[in-house]
Amino acid sequence: MKFCVLFWLIAVNILSISGLNQKYSFKRFIEIELWRKPELSELYPVLSSIEISCRDINKLMRRVSTDNLCGLEGNSINIQGEDQQKLDIISNRVMKTSLCCSKSISVVVSEEEEKPCLCSDVIDNIAFSKGEFAAVFDPIDGSSNIDSGLPTGTIFGIYRKQNYNIDDPLSSVLQKGKNLVVAGYCIYAATSHIVLTMGDGVHMFTLDDYTNKYYLTKSNIQIPKSGPIYSFNDVNKKQWLDIGIEYYLNDLKKGNYGFDTKPQQRYMGALVADTHNIIFNGGIFGYPSSISRPSGKLRLLYEANPISMIVEQAGGLAIDGKKRILEKKVEEIHERTPLFIGSKQQITSLKNYIQFFDYK
């Protein structure tokens, strides 16, 4: 067995050098990665379920207008106090069920669920309460883009359960982001990608519509050390609690902050899409805290943490304005955080501005 895997590894490396790695499937990739990390071997069915979920949600996303999946699910409001779109609810069910069916996950936390869900309840079978891992996810990120067909995504993270207590499932998921064993996102845009890290670099897989499978199309993605993109919804700038951010952006726009390329503003209203843009082109995305949102808008557990692990694994930085996101203690499952992610140069500059103008 070891020989064939070794042979496969050599073959794959030759293929990837010759650029023929398109046919290196997601399935084959995780087989090899989990062969390298036997302590994570139970994650095979979990990662397979993520591929299937991304493929199925992508299909739903493409049929929003033809299958009347647009708009709100009646007047249902989620725990965040936000209107729930039909696709939020359907995708939540897709993610919950497929992750729990892996049997390696025993508790899930979703943006669309008020409390953690025990898989033994989701599948209504006590046999599904034994999994060693917990999953956190945002089933549809960028819900406001669904009806207009603009980019959306799914964000996911996997933790190994710690001091688990079935009577208090919270204990297994309130972990710092640096404990994540897997993090990633699916993006539903002109093409559908899965971007994944298991702690050894960031890899991208692209859906082949003919075979309905994802194939490795980019390995060990590295975010540029500096880049032109700045991605802020600055309609809120007069409300931002850290005034250094506005000074930073003003200097950045004036072009007098040593940028090698002219800055370009891009903002897609979906964290996954803006992150994907920053990872490929370099620059900075930010969602600051403000008077109306003193802790920021983005959720720490299932948005900021998985995205921050991806960005750091790609050689970028992820902070809340002052400290590393992955070091933040998670106190409750839906808590929010200010989030700044991107190239080393831009994040370091922003942090200096925030510090310099921080009179508090």
Task: Choose from Mn ion, ligand AHG, none: what does 297 bind? Cβ within 5-8 Å by kind.
Answer: ligand AHG
Q: Which stretch binds Mn ion (CB under 5 A): 133-141, 158-166, 280-288, 336-344?
A: 133-141
Q: Which stretch binds ligand AHG (CB under 6 A): 23-31, 237-245, 265-273, 346-354?
A: 265-273
233 HSE (CA, 13 A, CB side): 16
Q: How far is the CB of 187 from ligand AHG (least distance, A)?
A: 11
Question: Alpha-carbon distance 116 to 110, whole Å?
Answer: 7
**Residue 141 in the binding site for ligand AHG (CB under 6 A):** yes
Q: How far is the CB of 146 from ligand AHG (least distance, A)?
A: 9
Cβ proximity to ligand AHG: between 83 and 208 the closer is 83
The residue assigned the tokens 């249902």 is 76
**Residue 233 in the binding site for ligand AHG (CB under 6 A):** yes
The residue assigned the tokens 């006590």 is 126
Task: Please select the residue that binds Mn ion; options are 51, 141, 242, 320, rule is CB under 5 A.
Answer: 141
The residue assigned the tokens 């250094």 is 244
Residue 118 corresponds to which tokens in the numbers above? 């025990």
**Residue 274 in the binding site for Mn ion (CB under 5 A):** no
Give one word for 258, left, alpha or beta, with left for phi > 0 and alpha for psi -120 to 50: left
- All residues at 6 or more sequence positions from 128 whose CB lies less than 8 Å from its CB, including other chains: 100, 101, 103, 106, 119, 120, 122
Cβ proximity to ligand AHG: between 80 and 261 the closer is 80
Tell which residue, 314, 308, 306, 321, has the closest CA to residue 279: 314
Tell which residue, 27, 198, 249, 61, has the closest CA to residue 139: 61
Task: Please select the residue that binds ligand AHG; options are 252, 271, 309, 330, rule is CB under 6 A.
Answer: 271
Task: Choose from ligand AHG, Mn ion, none: what does 269 bind? Cβ within 5-8 Å by kind.
Answer: ligand AHG
Cβ proximity to ligand AHG: between 33 and 112 the closer is 112
Name 77's bridge partners: 83
Q: How far is the CB of 138 from Mn ion (least distance, A)?
A: 4
Amino acid at 274: D
Which 3 state secondary structure label does DSSP give 125?
coil
Question: Alpha-carbon distance 30 to 183, whole Å?
Answer: 13
Amino acid at 323: K
Cβ proximity to ligand AHG: between 22 and 233 the closer is 233
Residue 296 corresponds to which tokens in the numbers above? 């920021």
Question: Alpha-carbon distance 4 to 93, whole Å?
Answer: 38
Give the containing element (helix H, strand E) for 185: strand 182-188
**Residue 297 in the binding site for ligand AHG (CB under 6 A):** yes
**138, 303 in Cβ contact below 8 A?**
yes
Task: Choose from Mn ion, ligand AHG, none: what does 131 bind? Cβ within 5-8 Å by kind.
Answer: none
Burial zone of 11 (CB within 10 Å; 0-12 exposed, 13-18 middle, 19+ buried): exposed
Task: Please select the residue that binds ligand AHG; options are 33, 138, 242, 320, rule is CB under 6 A.
Answer: 138
Q: Which stretch binds ligand AHG (CB under 6 A): 31-39, 40-48, 49-57, 267-275?
A: 267-275
**287, 298 in Cβ contact below 8 A?**
yes
**Residue 270 in the binding site for ligand AHG (CB under 6 A):** yes
**180, 158 in Cβ contact below 8 A?**
yes
Name 105's bridge partners: 133
Binding mask 70-109 for ligand AHG (x = CB under 6 A): ------------x---------------------------
Q: How far is the CB of 39 from ligand AHG (least distance, A)?
A: 32
**Residue 289 in the binding site for ligand AHG (CB under 6 A):** no
Which residue is nearest to Mn ion, using beta carbons?
141
**Residue 138 in the binding site for Mn ion (CB under 5 A):** yes
Cβ proximity to ligand AHG: between 219 and 265 the closer is 265
Q: How far is the CB of 213 from Mn ion (least distance, A)?
A: 26
**Site residues (CB under 5 A) for Mn ion?**
111, 138, 140-141
**Site residues (CB under 6 A) for ligand AHG?**
82, 111, 138, 141-143, 233, 269-271, 287, 297
